[in-house]
Structure 1
Amino acid sequence: MKATTNATPLSSKEHKRAYPKYLTLTVFVAALGGLLFGYDQGVMSGAVSFIGHSFKMSSGLLGFISGCIPLGAMVGCLIAGYLADKIGRKLMMFVSAIFFALSGVGCAVAPSVGILIASRLLGGLGIGMVSTLVPLYIAEISPKNVRGKMVGSYQLAVATGIFIVYLVNALIANTHTMEWNQNVGWRMMFMAAIIPGILFFGLLFLIPESPRYLISKHQDEEARKIMTRVSYESSQTINNEVESVKDSLKEENNSGNFWKEIIKKGTRMALFIAIMCSIFQQLTGVSAVAYYAPVIFKNAGAGTDAAMVETVLIGLVKVIFVAFFMGMIDKLGRKRLLKWGGYGMAICMFLLAYCFSQSDMSKAFDIFVIALIIIHTSFFEMSWGGGAWVLISEMLPNKIRGRASSLASFALWGATYAVTQLFPMMLDNLGDVWTFAIFGIFCVIMGLFIHFFFKETAGKSLEEIQESK
């Protein structure tokens, strides 16, 4: 027998006014976790020009410190995935906020390379948790007709965090002397990270637990109330959805343990696609551009101050085109955006390789390089930036979604670590031309992968996606 909700019925006018506000509030607060990710991804791009002076670092050590965040995140996402299925999504988001804030303080006051590395790794744990939990949580709480847009808000928060930190970096770097920036400025860039960490922690008290997690813990009535508040659907439709979730959980319980479920034919293919898309997201070269944008701009002929300002422009472009992605992901579908986004980025990378192959770059070429990086960033944010997180969050079964999503997130962070660690060495040993050409080849491959392997998931409930595998 299906349970009914005890919520007080609202009039049609009240219904349309009240529910979207609660959904918007919930998604807004959860998506702020992406702000932490974006801030940390961007802070290194400002600090990288100055931090090496304080500790006399080689390019390899500098690359390792840049890569500490993804290295820690590889562990963080696995911890978060397991514990999210055991004790809930919301509690683990609290933990991630604490780790992130402590990391910012640790980096800012670090007296040695060892303390700096430890603090970056702690931040990586928090970021890895956030990157697994937030898209998962938003996908589970959002109605199917707007799920892509809502999960896309995570990427908007990431882009906003990057833009904010680029702006902070530029203000610090361009208003002080080089000596001050080398000794103090980069520390202030890290210290500012405590603000979004505390903000995220405080606002988490305003949002509920994931309804699908609550159903898995036999708290059906509480889940039903939450689903009613975030949806326009009737009580009967909500009841049907709750029963659908319960049926999928029963089927998964009967199938055996986590690893037996993972190797089932449909789940195995879904996880394979999620992992490959996670890796491909980083092989676009976007993390390399984000971490080392000022270095790339200086190589193209810009001065240090100009490179910082141009980096701010990239941050602004990210925010604008993620907003475009959010408007289009549920209308155009995932497949179309991901495929053509890959091809668009490939063209940009091949043109960048051509520009850097010219022995004497004119001012026009310098401007063209900046334009190509901006266009590449636009294609990324319209497609793979948020698209990979959408796919990870919605393709896997209810009962094991946290742990299975963490495996895909682990792959994404592994690829991020490899790219950020190897990128400065690629520039030194292979040169700009081959570095960008290699990323261009990967962009072509990912477009083809989506064309041949991915089946559209837009407009389907999480349970319908699961049944169609």
Structure 2
Amino acid sequence: MENQNISFNSRYILFISFISALGGYLFGFDFAVISGALPFLRTAFGLNEYWEGFLTGSLALGCILGCLIAGKSADLYGRKPGLMLSALIFAVSSAGMAFSNTLTVFIIMRFCAGIGVGMASILSPLYIAEISPAAIRGRNVAINQLTTVIGILVTNLCNYSLADNGSEAWRWMFGLGIVPSALFFTGVTLLPESPRWQIQKGLIDKAHQTLLKIGKDGFAVQTIKEVNKSLEHSSTPTLKAVFHKSVRPALLIGITLAVFQQLCGINVVFNYTSTIFEAVGADLDRQLFETVAIGIVNLCFTVLAMWQVDKLGRRPLMLIGSLGLAFAYLAIAYFLNIKANPNLISIFVLLAIALYATSLAPVTWVLISEIFPNHIRGLASSISVVSLWVAYFILVFTFPILAKLIGTYGPFYFYSAICFAGWLFIKLKVKETKGQTLEQLENNFISH
């Protein structure tokens, strides 16, 4: 345990955590913009259900490549250069999507946006976990989720306000992504490099200077000592090291939680809000209003999760969320099937969002950033997050096809079953991590 008497520079820690977490805002932007733009894109590019699914999922394919780039480069060159590169890629791709004249160009640009999002999705929570004291690490990593949901809400509000600007409104929706990416790039230039990465590379003096800004000399000396001890028997990060039998228990948990976070089905609600409410007769204005309501609920309950993740703990939140989602989906499936009033469906959709925002959404990222050893954290995290994006692609690609084959309500029965299975896995396999240093957690998740 970290010495409870050590005082920390909370303002500085919060400042650098928020700047790093702006990568989450980019994730939230590209994640939400498609929901408001899809009704326009269907007309602009003549999309059928297959192309609609592929266009939506092309972001995830880029994210997979972005994760692979970020994981290796983070361990070789540090966390900061990757964060800056992700911001640049995102800015260029946002402009590219806005000016796309063909479906092919648009999908290529959305794929490129995914590279930037994928890099940020690895590096932002990883960086925050490495600069945060154990007592507030869960809350700080959850800041990344907070900026994600702020990105979702702001983007949904922009989509709603732009919707009356004619058939080309979607171009403005995507083009606005240049603004947050420019802010993110500027902010990252002010960040120090991760002290844990600096220690790993033998840059002890630089790490000591950064740690002095976070805590005081006692904290800096203690952290350097603990990190060095954890690195004593480590080697250069390789895939062989990540898949070593001692790391496999942590890797299994990281991959399973990442896949579960996506196949639980909530991103169908985020990405296909218009499709879900169109199925029960809601007009375009009501469809876009529902995206705003989802954004507001998502934000409020993410703040609740940030408050509870270091108090109640990771495991209880995940158990409550996964079981609650299973029952919420059963209700959504039933009411969609009988074509109930949109107001009734909205209640259960928002309940599902609330449950997800307090559990699987932030806590999965927290756990992935915590459970791997220092010397392979970047690479191991990237494998988990690659799995997450593969699952996201499968989810959003298949939903329009399944909805056409078995009705909009049908897939929600599948998602409910997945949530029950996820609840069982968490109950059996996932240990609590709150309040422990990253070095202490190696003993919990690594088999010796």
The percent of aligned pairs where both chains have the same amino acid is 36
Q: Secondary structure at the match of 1:433?
A: coil
| Corresponding residue number in structure 2 for 1:375 | 351
Alignment of 1:67-78 (within 5 A): 67-78=57-68
Alpha-carbon contact 1:39-1:193 (below 8 Å) kept = yes
The equivalent of 2:153 in structure 1 is 163
**Aligned with residue 136 of structure 1, among 126, 143, 156:** 126
1:208 and 2:192 equivalent? yes
Name the residue aligned to 2:330.
350
**1:257 positional shift:** 5.6
**Alignment correspondent of 2:105:** 115
2:47 match: secondary structure: coil
User: Does 2:414 align with 1:417?
Assistant: no
Alignment counterpart, residue 310 of structure 1, candidates 290, 294, 302 = 290
Matches within 5 A, 1:254-403: 258-358=238-338, 361=340, 363=341, 366-403=342-379
Quote the offset at 1:171 in angstroms: 0.3
CA contact (8 A) 1:346 1:439 kept: yes
Q: Aligned letter for 1:88?
A: G
The CA deviation string for residues 99-118 of structure 1, in whole angstroms up to 9 with x for no partner, is 11111100110111111111
For residues 114-165 of structure 1, give each alpha carbon's deviation from its aligned partner in whole angstroms, at most 9, with x where no partner exists. 1111101110100000001011000000000000000000000110000011
User: Letter of the aligned partner of 2:233 in structure 1?
Assistant: E
Measure how far apart 1:348 and its partner are: 0.5
TM-score by length of 1: 0.92
The 5 A counterparts of 1:35-74 are 35-74=25-64
* Alpha-carbon separation, structure 2, partners of 1:312 and 1:376: 15
Whole-Å Cα distance in 2 between the matches of residues 123 and 167 of structure 1? Answer: 21
Report the counterpart of residue 8 of structure 1 in structure 2: none
**CA distance in 1: counterparts of 2:57 and 2:207, whole angstroms:** 39
| Whole-angstrom CA distance in 1 between matches of 2:194 and 2:307 | 24
8 Å CA contact 1:162–1:315 kept in 2: the answer is yes
Which residue identity is paired with 1:270? Answer: A
1:458: which partner in 2?
A: 434
Secondary structure of the residue aligned to 1:369 is helix
Alignment partner of 1:220 out of 204, 213, 220? 204
Aligned match for 2:227, one of 232, 240, 245: 245
Equivalent-residue separation in structure 2 for 1:452 and 1:467 (angstroms): 18
Query: What's the counterpart of residue 148 of structure 1?
Result: 138
Greater mean deviation of Cα atoms: 241-250 or 207-216 = 241-250
Structure 2 residue matching 1:432: 3-state secondary structure? coil
CA–CA distance in structure 1, aligned partners of residues 261 and 237 of structure 2: 30
Using structure 2 for the length normalisation, give the TM-score: 0.96
CA contact (8 A) 2:242 2:379 kept: no
Which sections of structure 1, spanning at least 5 residues, go unmatched? 1-11
Query: Retained in 1: the 8 A contact 2:86–2:120?
Result: yes
Tell me if 1:427 matches 2:403.
yes
Q: Looking at CA atoms only, which structure, 1 or 2, has the larger radius of gyration? A: 1
Give the letter aligned to residue 246 of structure 1.
Answer: N
**What is the SS of the residue equivalent to 2:372?**
coil
Q: What is the alpha-carbon distance in structure 2 between the residues aligned to residue 448 and residue 104 of structure 1? A: 40
- Supply the distance in 1 between the matched residues of 2:98 and 2:444 (Cα, whole angstroms): 49
SS at match of 2:272: helix
Contact 1:93/1:130 (<8 A) preserved: yes
Shift of 1:417: 0.6
Report the equivalent of 2:71.
81
Question: Do the aligned residues in 2 keep the contact of 1:252 with 1:261 (CA within 8 Å)?
Answer: no
Aligned residues: 441
CA distance in 2: counterparts of 1:263 and 1:356, whole angstroms: 43
Q: Which amino acid aligns with 2:141?
A: V
Any idea what SS the aligned residue of 1:266 has? coil
Rounded to whole Å, the distance in 1 between the matches of 2:76 and 2:181 is: 24
